[in-house]
Structure 1
């Protein structure tokens, strides 16, 4: 179950499965903004105030993020728009 104002697991999976080349710039920007907002919400609300499913998804997401490289917000925005280095 997804808590209010959060992206659902199915939405996140759909975004990941859709190739970047087939997304419009608007779609890429929207995904970047909503993903950033979702991660902020993930980190602001304590896990004990979330549904069990949301808490588990957030713990998993934090684990994945902790294993990613340290990019600046500008570099992440460029990657979202498909303008990052390859």
Structure 2
């Protein structure tokens, strides 16, 4: 379960697993805005105040305070699903 004020894990997974080529422009814009808002909320909240589930979710999605690339993005890069994003190493 995600912390209050954060994007749900289900919404993150849904956005990450559907290729951008299959999304409408509205869906892509919504995903971008929600992702940036969640990343900002992650950066604003100290790790010591996050639940263990939120810390784990942030580690998987890349919303850690260091703003490193997500494991999901790296997997999508490896599968060629991140067509509109530069690859991260």
Would you say same fold, with TM above 0.5? yes
Q: CA RMSD in A?
A: 2.6
How many corresponding residue pairs?
Answer: 71
- Deviation, 1:65, is 4.5
Residues 1-86 of structure 1 correspond to what in structure 2 (within 5 A)? 1-60=1-60, 61=62, 62=64, 65-67=67-69, 82=84
In the alignment, is the contact (CA less than 8 A) between 1:3 and 1:51 conserved in 2?
yes
Q: 1:47 to 1:64 in 2, by over 3 A?
A: closer
For structure 1, list consecutive stretches of 5 or more residues without a partner in the other structure.
69-81
Q: 1:24 to 1:67 in 2, by over 3 A?
A: closer
Structure with the larger RCO, 1 or 2 (CA within 8 Å, 6+ apart): 1
Structure showing the higher helix proportion among its residues: 1
- Deviation, 1:57, is 2.0
Q: Tell me the TM-score normalised to structure 1 length.
A: 0.66
